[in-house]
Amino acid sequence: MTSADFARNRDNFCYRHPGTQSFVLCQRCMRTICADCQTQAPVGVICPECLKAQRKAESPAQRRARRQSRSMAAMFAGRPPTVTAAIVILTGFIGLLQMIPGIGNEITRALMFFAPSLYPSLNGGVSEPWRLLTPLLVHGGFFHLALNMLALYVIGRSLEPMLGKWRFLALYLISGLGGSVAVALISPLTPVVGASGAIFGLFGALLVIGRKAGRTSPGSW
């Protein structure tokens, strides 16, 4: 084939834009379409006419699902996970302070959860209820911190835009609180550090929301 033949061959031009060269075919009608005319389909691309025909053939339920997934995508786009980022930065910062010899242990001791410190009679006459939440900020070493923050980031990136900032933060704190209460009941003499309880709660919420949205696992978020 010479280049002149090539230029004359209508199959190498978009059927809707005869001036635009293309080698991509619509997967439904097999006509050539240019980049402007392509819509991503499950397999390959389809042309605007086929897209229209396909949408006409959709059942009302299919149409509703398509609209819903589009509006959900629009809703979540442009909502950066600020609370997630703030928690990761704050916790990471305190994790760094914990590694400083001398003051590191003091910080850990000041923030960790230890059930007896809730009871004035066991704690020199003072109750320290903030310890139900502060263990979220301290970790038992670099890997504990790194793994928890990685998990928090991965889950928060999906979950925070769905819940909104404040509900996400509330869920994080309530889950963390629940973790401390569970430790106080199950193993009251074990001092605890780490955000694992809170992250577990977030993960549970993600599973529930994922199932409600008709997905089998949160992996596709």
The binder of Zn ion chosen from 45, 50, 171, 199 (CB under 5 A)? 50
* Closer of 34 and 145 to Zn ion (Cβ): 34
> Quick one: which segment of 36-44, 62-70, 113-121, 174-182 binds Zn ion (CB under 5 A)?
36-44
* Closer of 28 and 157 to Zn ion (Cβ): 28
Query: Which residues within the stretch 5-34 sit at the binding site for Zn ion (CB under 5 A)?
Result: 14, 16-17, 26, 28-29, 34
Q: Sign of torsion, CA 6 7 9 15?
A: positive
Buried b (16+ CB within 10 A) or exposed e, 129-166: eebbbbbbbbbeeeebbeebbebbebbbebbbbbbebe
Contacts of 185 (CB under 8 A, 6+ apart): none
Task: Tokens for 134, please give them.
Answer: 């502060």
Query: What's the min distance (Å) between Cβ of 13 and Zn ion?
Result: 9
* Closer of 36 and 106 to Zn ion (Cβ): 36
In a 10 Å sphere around its CB, with 0-12 CB exposed, 13-18 middle and 19+ buried, how is residue 37 labelled? buried
Assess 47 for contact with Zn ion (CB under 5 A).
Answer: yes
Query: What's the min distance (Å) between Cβ of 149 and Zn ion?
Result: 47
> Quick one: which segment of 49-57, 63-71, 94-102, 105-113 binds Zn ion (CB under 5 A)?
49-57
Query: What's the min distance (Å) between Cβ of 46 and Zn ion?
Result: 5
Query: Which residues within the stretch 154-183 sit at the binding site for Zn ion (CB under 5 A)?
Result: none
* Closer of 50 and 163 to Zn ion (Cβ): 50
Query: What's the min distance (Å) between Cβ of 89 and Zn ion?
Result: 47
* Closer of 25 and 173 to Zn ion (Cβ): 25
The amino acid at 46: I
* Closer of 47 and 133 to Zn ion (Cβ): 47
Contacts of 145 (CB under 8 A, 6+ apart): 91, 92, 95, 139
Query: Which residues within the stretch 70-89 sit at the binding site for Zn ion (CB under 5 A)?
Result: none
- Site of tokens 């980022």: 85
Q: What does 74-143 look like in DSSP terms, one character per residue?
A: HHHTT---HHHHHHHHHHHHHHHHHTSTTHHHHHHHHHSB-GGGGSGGGTTT---GGGGTGGGG--SSHH
Q: Which residues bind Zn ion (CB under 5 A)?
A: 14, 16-17, 26, 28-29, 34, 36-37, 47, 50
